[in-house]
């Protein structure tokens, strides 16, 4: 049911995003990204729908094959989540290098050209209070800088006049540029580590419970 709901919402937003915005647009500025979020919802909804079908139909029909498929899919997702968490914790520097190699060229070439990408980055930079992935130099030699002769508006913030006109940010004594989004996001995660950990633990508990129940049913069918 959850997967079907997400899939339905994703299709709705893709087909008629404007009506979705008219209803939910005032809830959060982030909702303006629905054009891109819709595809994410469709993918996640489809996956959850398939997994849910395997579990429910397998239990209803007492199909050992479907129950084992359900167990295997959930186990693979569970292992992938643990692996992703370990990589994120241990190889933060590597992740930053990898993201820099992929994201920075996109910012230089597509920011200001691709409306969708530009909007996503503008919302992200405003909400997180950051500029670029690493810092404002991600926009150096970019299409945006060449066309507008300045860095994107979300990058600017009022600063004490002690910066002076020799600030690397601009010729204005009261403005400077925010730090990169990667470090800001890491800081936000650290600040809300308890909430992030609680959500992750809840998801892990649900997955373990799903695997336990499916394996119990699988073994119970053997006893029958």
Q: How many CA atoms lie within 13 A of 8 on its CB side?
A: 5
| Domain shared by 110 and 73, yes or no | yes
Confirm if 48 and 3 have CB atoms less than 8 A apart.
yes
- Domain end, chosen from 30, 61, 92, is at 61
* Averaged pLDDT score across all residues of the chain: 77
Main-chain phi, psi angles of 180, to 5 degrees: -65, 155
Beta bridge partners, 158, equal 175
Q: What is the pLDDT of residues 147-193, one digit of tens each?
A: 888 888 888 876 655 444 444 444 454 567 788 888 877 777 777 77
| Domain shared by 177 and 167, yes or no | yes
- Domain end, chosen from 46, 61, 76, is at 61
| Domain shared by 163 and 94, yes or no | yes
| Domain shared by 113 and 154, yes or no | yes
| Domain shared by 100 and 211, yes or no | yes
| Domain shared by 172 and 85, yes or no | yes
Q: Please report the pLDDT score of residue 105 as a whole number.
A: 87
| Domain shared by 56 and 83, yes or no | no
60-69, 81-90, 122-131, 202-211: the lowest-pLDDT one:
81-90
Residue whose tokens read 């819709």: 38
| Domain shared by 81 and 187, yes or no | yes
Its pTM stands at 0.56
| Domain shared by 193 and 98, yes or no | yes
Q: What is the pLDDT of residues 103-134, one digit of tens each?
A: 888 888 889 888 877 887 887 888 778 888 88
- Domain end, chosen from 27, 61, 95, is at 61
| Domain shared by 44 and 102, yes or no | no
Q: What is the pLDDT of residues 25-57, one digit of tens each?
A: 544 444 444 445 677 778 888 988 888 888 888
How many other C-beta atoms lie within 10 A of the C-beta of residue 192?
A: 12
| Domain shared by 53 and 137, yes or no | no
| Domain shared by 146 and 213, yes or no | yes
Split at pLDDT 50, 70, 90, the class of 212 is very high
Q: Which domain holds residue 71?
A: 63-223
- If you ran DSSP here, which 8-state letter would residue 173 be given? T
Say how many domains are in the chain: 2
Q: Please report the pLDDT score of residue 36 as a whole number.
A: 58
In sign, the C-alpha dihedral spanning 192, 198, 201, 207 is negative
């Amino acid at each position: 049911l959850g997967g079907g709901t997400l899939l339905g919402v994703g299709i709705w937003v893709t087909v008629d995003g404007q009506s979705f915005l008219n209803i939910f647009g005032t809830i959060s500025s982030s909702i303006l990204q629905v054009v891109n979020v819709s595809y994410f919802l469709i993918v996640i909804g489809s996956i959850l729908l398939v997994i849910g079908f395997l579990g429910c139909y397998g239990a209803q029909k007492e199909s050992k094959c479907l129950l084992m498929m359900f167990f295997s899919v959930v186990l693979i997702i569970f292992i992938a989540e643990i692996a992703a968490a370990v990589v994120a914790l241990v190889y933060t520097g590597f992740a930053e290098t990898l993201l820099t190699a992929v994201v920075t060229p996109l910012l230089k070439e597509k920011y200001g050209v691709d409306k969708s990408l530009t909007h996503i980055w503008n919302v992200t930079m405003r909400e997180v209070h950051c500029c670029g992935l690493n810092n404002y130099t991600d926009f150096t030699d970019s299409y945006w800088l060449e066309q507008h002769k300045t860095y994107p508006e979300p990058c600017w913030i009022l600063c004490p006049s002690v910066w002076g006109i020799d600030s690397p940010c601009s010729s204005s004594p009261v403005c400077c540029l925010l730090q990169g989004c990667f470090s800001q996001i890491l800081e936000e995660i650290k600040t809300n580590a308890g909430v992030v950990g609680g959500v992750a633990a809840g998801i892990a508990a649900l997955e373990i419970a799903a695997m336990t129940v499916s394996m119990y049913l699988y073994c119970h069918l053997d006893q029958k």
